[in-house]
Structure 1
Amino acid sequence: MIKVLSGSWALLFGMMLLQVGNGMQGTLLGIRGEIEGFSTFEMSLIMSGYFVGFLFGSRMAPEMIRRVGHVRVFAALGSMISSIMLLYPTWTDPWAWGAARILIGFCFSGVYVTAESWLNNAASNENRGKALSLYMIVQMIGIVSAQALLIVADPGGFILFIIPSVLISISFAPILLSISPTPAFGAIKPMTLMQIFHTSPLGCVGMFLLGGIFSAQFGMGAVYGGKAGLSVGQISAFVSAFYIGALIVQYPLGWLSDRMDRRLLILVAAAGLALGSVVAMIFGEVFFVLLAAAFVVGGLSNPLYSLLIAYTNDFLEHEDMAAAAGGLVFINGLGAVAGPLITGWMMGILGPRGFFLYIAVLGAAMAIYAAYRMTQRRGTVVDPVENYTLVMPSSSPMAVTLAQEYDVEIAQEEEAEEAARFGAA
């Protein structure tokens, strides 16, 4: 772990600051939109814009990097992000914010692809798993820390927009000044979506539903808080609870996933987050209950991303895992684009409770479909080995691909060791 930190501290520290900025802008826009009098539907369009941009960015960033290189892409997109942060309070118009969210989602996607390829280049086979885990942990820490900064100034002013702009500008300095080698960037021929669906229907359907669940949390959590009459401090704590739950529950759920039928675990996790959403919908006026429900929903929904990828891998050959990762991320992105739109529509009809009702319906649908799939296919026999790698739903396809490649490397090493022991015997 120390070796990983010594070799990648600048990248990890820079990405943590970047996530502080990203986490602040997502929550802050929800609060500021309420102050500006934007309707729930307008906010849903604005929040959905981030995922539209992210989806296109994940497809276009690799080609941009191949054409002009990592450093130029990284610096250009970073400057754009910092500038957009300052434009939000200057031009408080729903259409302007929507366009800015699309652009900033595109930029963040490109930055993630660039940083994650650098991380992969800096890591070795021996420490790649630890590097990926540290990367995901600092991302969560950054998002949670961002919520605490929301209480340092008035969300109706400029200061809270200046802070993330400055942090994002600072975040690129240690990365660009300390990382000298430019990593190679190779293209991976993806599997078609139909091939992935035939391989793992549950993986595809689950990823689509999970995209809607995650984007509702990330994009509409603060909007819910504003409509529910929460204070800025309470909204900060509410949004933080989703990610604190994810950080704590991720590893226990991953440990279980390598030791039981993953479909059963998917069913239980999906049903659990649906139940937590129902509790919040009924008893959400009690703030402690609301926090506990958010902890449960975030703690069970975020690990499902890695769990669904691991389950799909159970039916793939090693050489197909990285290719399938891109398709799964794209499916997740399609669900993410629709998430804020549907959530906003439901909140417009039902009020704040529509937020948790939407998550409950998607969680229940995933649990029911998992139960159905258990009647259609035999379960896979899972050996007690670590082939569940932590990946956040907000990660780019590059991080998912790196996680897949790491799993393949570990599996191949274990197969080689087993073959050597068998030959010696």
Structure 2
Amino acid sequence: MRSLAARPDAKALGLAAVIGSTFFLGLAHGIGYPLTAVSFERWGAPGWLTGLAAGMPALAALVLLPFAPRLAFRIGLVPAMAGGCAIGLTGFILMPLMPSVEAWLVLRFMMGVGLLFPWLLGETWINAAAEEASRGRVLSLYTVALFGGYGAGPVLLGQIGTEGLQPFIVAGLALSLAVLPLVAAASLAPRIDGHAGGNPAAVAKLVPLGMSAALIAGVLEYAYIALLPSFASRLGLDEATGLGLVTAFLWGGVTLSFGFGWLADRMNRPKLMLMMLVAFPLVALVSGLATALPGAALAATFLLGGLACAFYTLGLAILGERLRPADLAPANAAFLVLYQVGTLAAPPVAGAAMDAVTPWGFLMAVIGFGLAGLATALMLYRIESRRKTA
């Protein structure tokens, strides 16, 4: 008799639970980042400290990820995910009780440690449970939930305000709601053991092309998210137009994700990745040069967001396609390390380029990022092709 988690309907329910949980996890992140930035500004903190606070979760992930898979599977899949949410909830409880820059830097790092576990293990669960024929679409739904929650956070924060206890209560409630479907579906979680606590770096070498997609996604997403308003301002566009371009980029990532997931289930995934890397610099050029035509700029930026975010989904799909379930957790840890490296490295480089060649240095930088990604992916694709024929 098959185990409960092995039944197709049980797998679907388990996937639905993780995807639903991911939305609330994204919502908590989407509240936490702008709430921290606005509070630091209110307290008169310098910009570099605000940036440091924004980078604390990424720093926590980089520190912990090499050890996270082994630790998580000693605790158990669902207990580790729920415990991580509980650490994040504790952070939101302590923030209004400790209203200082120094305390919040520590709390943001602590919350980054906690919220790493539902992020890492949720992706592992989904990739282990998804059927190969629908893997791209399932992962795209995960991406929609994550970025949809992330995008909804600032909108909700705009409605409830950033002062008083209400934003902390709402963020804590979001993390509580993230735990409920996980606990309800605990018996449906896939069994992942064996080498689940293995070396992330060693497993990453098995899928270099899929790993490169994580770095590319982090670089391309955050270069735009961090600097697109500044680029628009230096072009002489008003603030509303700049924010509109960021909104178009983010919602392009959410809206077009399923379409790229559908393509990933019907095409050779490495070849699709190469095609996307060819398209990205071209669309970036159009979006930058079309800023005098608001409608064209919004449409091109919308497509650009879809392309940038799709690299994350596609990279995860390549991992799930090529690795055993036992290897998914350490591979996903390495994947997230590369993604975080991209998110941390790209904005300063693109910002420096924009300062050096105002304003077009930004556009030159992101096109350069895309071309570098294409060259890297082509090299890795050829290496993998030679391995298969050897």
TM-score of the aligned structures, taking structure 2 as reference length? 0.70
Could you tell me which residue of structure 2 aligns to residue 419 of structure 1?
A: none
CA–CA distance in structure 2, aligned partners of residues 92 and 239 of structure 1: 30
Kindly state the Cα deviation for residue 22 of structure 1 after the two structures are TM-superposed. Answer: 1.4
CA offsets per residue over residues 307-344 of structure 1, 9 Å max, x none?
34666889x68799747555444333333332345456
Decide which of 211, 214, 230 is 2:239's aligned counterpart.
230
CA offsets per residue over residues 101-153 of structure 1, 9 Å max, x none?
332222111123444566678x5869984765544443333233334313313
CA–CA distance in structure 1, aligned partners of residues 11 and 64 of structure 2: 28
Are 1:77 and 1:111, in contact at CA under 8 Å, matched by a contact in 2? yes
Structure 1: tracts of 5 or more residues without a match: 382-425
CA–CA distance in structure 1, aligned partners of residues 81 and 269 of structure 2: 37
1:247 aligns with 2:254: yes
The one-letter code sitting in structure 2 at the alignment partner of 1:77 is G
Decide which of 259, 265, 277 is 1:270's aligned counterpart.
277
Distance 1:93 1:345, change over 3 A: farther
Decide which of 176, 179, 196 is 1:188's aligned counterpart.
196
Question: Between the two proteins, what is the percent identity of the paired residues?
Answer: 22
Distance 1:288 1:99, change over 3 A: farther
CA–CA distance in structure 2, aligned partners of residues 308 and 156 of structure 1: 39
Could you tell me which residue of structure 2 aligns to residue 359 of structure 1?
A: 366
Could you tell me which residue of structure 2 aligns to residue 212 of structure 1?
A: 219
The one-letter code sitting in structure 1 at the alignment partner of 2:281 is A
Distance 1:81 1:308, change over 3 A: closer
CA offsets per residue over residues 206-243 of structure 1, 9 Å max, x none?
54343322344566678889998736x974x6554334
Decide which of 270, 280, 301 is 2:308's aligned counterpart.
301
CA–CA distance in structure 2, aligned partners of residues 138 and 35 of structure 1: 31
Q: Aligned residues, how many?
A: 376
Structure 2: tracts of 5 or more residues without a match: 1-7
Could you tell me which residue of structure 2 aligns to residue 395 of structure 1?
A: none
Are 2:274 and 2:377, in contact at CA under 8 Å, matched by a contact in 1? yes
Decide which of 71, 77, 86 is 1:79's aligned counterpart.
86
CA–CA distance in structure 2, aligned partners of residues 203 and 73 of structure 1: 26
The one-letter code sitting in structure 2 at the alignment partner of 1:188 is A
Could you tell me which residue of structure 2 aligns to residue 108 of structure 1?
A: 115
Could you tell me which residue of structure 2 aligns to residue 148 of structure 1?
A: 155
Superposed counterparts of 1:23-422, under 5 Å: 23-30=30-37, 33=40, 38-70=45-77, 72-85=79-92, 95-115=102-122, 129=135, 132=139, 134-155=141-162, 159-176=166-183, 179=186, 184-186=191-193, 187-188=195-196, 193=201, 203=210, 205-217=212-224, 230=239, 235=243, 238-256=245-263, 265-279=272-286, 281=288, 291-308=298-315, 322=328, 326-343=333-350, 358-370=365-377
Q: What do you get for the CA RMSD once the two structures are aligned?
A: 4.8
Distance 1:219 1:49, change over 3 A: farther
CA–CA distance in structure 1, aligned partners of residues 15 and 381 of structure 2: 42
CA offsets per residue over residues 156-215 of structure 1, 9 Å max, x none?
665444422222233324433564577644133757758856x77655555434332234
Distance 1:142 1:119, change over 3 A: same
Are 1:27 and 1:221, in contact at CA under 8 Å, matched by a contact in 2? no
Which shows bigger deviation, 128-137 or 52-61? 128-137
CA–CA distance in structure 2, aligned partners of residues 19 and 268 of structure 1: 29
The one-letter code sitting in structure 2 at the alignment partner of 1:335 is G
TM-score of the aligned structures, taking structure 1 as reference length? 0.65
Kindly state the Cα deviation for residue 303 of structure 1 after the two structures are TM-superposed. Answer: 1.4
The one-letter code sitting in structure 2 at the alignment partner of 1:270 is L
CA–CA distance in structure 2, aligned partners of residues 76 and 41 of structure 1: 31
CA–CA distance in structure 1, aligned partners of residues 115 and 319 of structure 2: 27
Distance 1:225 1:149, change over 3 A: farther
User: SS at 1:176's partner residue?
Assistant: helix
Distance 1:78 1:223, change over 3 A: farther
Distance 1:334 1:356, change over 3 A: same
CA–CA distance in structure 2, aligned partners of residues 206 and 142 of structure 1: 22
Could you tell me which residue of structure 2 aligns to residue 16 of structure 1?
A: 23
The one-letter code sitting in structure 2 at the alignment partner of 1:175 is L
